[in-house]
Amino acid sequence: MSASALAAAWRHAPTRRRVRALAAPMVLSNFCTPLVTLVDSAVIGHLPHAHQLGAVAVGGSLFTLLAWAFGFLRMGTTGFAAQACGRADGAALRQVLLQSLLLAAVFALLLGLLALPFGELALGLMQPSAALDALSREYFHIRLLGLPAVLASYALIGWLLGAQNARAPLAMLLLTSLGNVALDLWFVLGLDWGVAGAARASVLAEWSGALLGLALARRALRRHPGRLPWDALRRWASWRPLLAVNRDIFLRSLLLQLVFFLITVQGARLGDATVAANALLLNGLLLTAHALDGLAHAVEALCGHAIGRRDRAALQRALAVAGLWSLLASLGFSLFFLSGGALFVRLQTDIPAVRELAEAYLPYLAALPPVAVWSYLLDGLFIGATRAREMRDAMLLAVALALPLAWLLQGFGNHGLWLAFLAFMALRALAMGLFARRLLDEI
């Protein structure tokens, strides 16, 4: 898009209003999402031992690898719901919602069967200390009780966003996050339940958010008249498009979570203090990514809606406006981590060794937002277009190129680990940009 076209898109007031109306609640919502793990880390980080914070980092990483690999339940749902909303097709909206919730229930059951052997294998690869191993297992096993609620919430948030309702996900995530804060403080500091208390707080908060989401989805359906097409649900053809998109997003998400998991594995091998310090920095990255994803979510809804209406101009305007806001926001996060990163670390832990290590690696965290923001934004385009294959292929390419680099940088310790991660994010953004250019030419 030329500079004059960008300027014209930015001056289009209706597009700016729609981006703000969708992005603002989703930015707030997404700030809440990583707070479940961030609050667990912050509360446990003020207990006296590094292995307690390390247990939340390791156990939380195992749970996140399982749950977030199924983030396709949100992303796959949003595009189909947004396109149905663009067509004013209430029956299709109902079909997508029910299909996504049924998939969430099935996958929660399957993951429940696989989780325990997965945890044993993963902890064996990490080779943690005995104290870290025991507490990590306890935290992970308790968090599994919240897995059905987490997957159902993914489906509900994706559907609500696709239906152009950004306030309902905000309400769900606020309840989850604020409930987790209150329960964490009560269980860990009040009742002295330690790491187990943090896990129980997360589970109760996650179930509260999912139940609220069900109530809000039922209310949202009243604004979209239509009947559920029961006959279509019995036909394989009606499931194939959703399953194909979800399959590709699942593979993409699995690879992404594998990257984060490998960071935790390598950090654990470098010592309890290192894995804890990296966890604090990754909390900063997750906070940034979820906030910037708020703009990407606006792109998902607006691009899907534009594609449903076959409005190419609206699609380009949404990308341009959200892209400019994303760039400015990413630079703001970089400045924050450069100037206030030490405070961010200190808010999460009182352990001197962990603080010192985390603060030494803050420049890497500050460099990440302007590099990674483009992959977040382009995710929104591909999700809205229900073109998950390109997301999968870009991730495969980035991982295939970054892994050999990470192996070569092993001798540089934790610095090498963060350099490899920066390279991975840059490669991912570049590959997605190439695929996005081709996609825009086709629409």
Burial state string for 1-21 with b = 16 or more CB within 10 A and e = fewer than 16: eeeeebeebbebeebbebbee
Tokens in use for 77?
């749902």
pLDDT of amino acid 307: 73
Contacts of 45 (CB under 8 A, 6+ apart): 53, 276, 280, 348, 349, 350, 351, 354
Task: State the DSSP code for 12.
Answer: -
Residue in the block written with tokens 């985390």: 358
Between helix 236-269 and helix 50-68 the angle, nearest 10°, is 160
d(C-alpha 205, C-alpha 434), whole Å: 40
- List CB contacts of 154: < 8 A, sequence separation 6 or more: 70, 71, 73, 74, 77, 104
d(CA 81, CA 39) in angstroms, rounded, equals: 32
Asked whether the beta carbons of 168 and 112 are under 8 A apart, the reply is: no
DSSP symbol at 354: H
Start-to-end C-alpha separation, the chain: 14
pLDDT of residue 349: 76
Distances (CA, A) of 102 to 73, 126, 159, 369: 10, 34, 13, 35
The CA distance from 423 to 273, in Å, is 24
Tokens linked to 414: 């934790």
Question: Tokens 């909303």 label which residue?
Answer: 85
Residue 332: the pLDDT is 93
Could you tell me which of 207, 205, 100 has the C-alpha nearest to residue 157? 100
pTM over 0.85: no
Give every CB contact of residue 285 below 8 A, 6+ residues apart in sequence: 365, 368, 372
Q: Tell how far CA 126 is from the center of its chain.
A: 24
Q: Domain ranges in the chain?
A: 3-442
Furthest-apart CA pair in the chain: how many Å?
Answer: 62
Instruction: Report yes or no: 297 and 380 within 8 Å, Cβ to Cβ.
Output: yes
Spell out the residues 6+ positions from residue 232 whose beta carbon is closer than 8 angstroms to its own: 95, 238
Tell me, what amino acid is at 387? R
CA atoms within 13 A on the CB side of 108: 20
Instruction: With beta carbons less than 8 A apart as the criterion, state whether 164 and 26 touch.
Output: no
Q: What is the pLDDT of residue 163?
A: 82
Tokens 């294998």 sit at which residue?
Answer: 121
Distance between CA atoms of 362 and 364, rounded to whole angstroms? 5
Angstrom distance (rounded) from CA 304 to CA 294: 15
Find tokens 């993409």 and name the residue: 252
User: Angle 199-205-206 (CA atoms, 0-180°, nearest 5)?
Assistant: 90
Closest to 380 (Cα-Cα) out of 142, 228, 158, 220: 158
Structure tokens at 227: 């009947």
Q: Which amino acid, 91?
A: A
Digits of tens for pLDDT over the chain (443 positions)? Answer: 555 666 666 666 777 777 776 666 666 666 655 566 666 666 666 565 666 666 676 777 778 777 777 777 877 788 788 778 777 778 888 888 888 899 999 999 888 888 777 766 776 666 566 667 677 778 888 888 888 998 999 899 889 988 878 788 888 988 888 888 888 788 877 787 877 888 888 899 999 999 999 999 988 888 887 787 777 777 777 788 888 888 888 888 788 878 887 887 777 777 777 877 888 888 888 878 877 877 777 777 777 777 767 767 777 787 878 888 888 889 999 999 999 888 888 887 777 888 888 888 899 999 999 999 999 889 888 887 878 888 899 999 999 999 899 888 888 888 888 999 999 999 999 999 998 888 777 66
Contact criterion met (CB below 8 Å) for 430 and 373: no
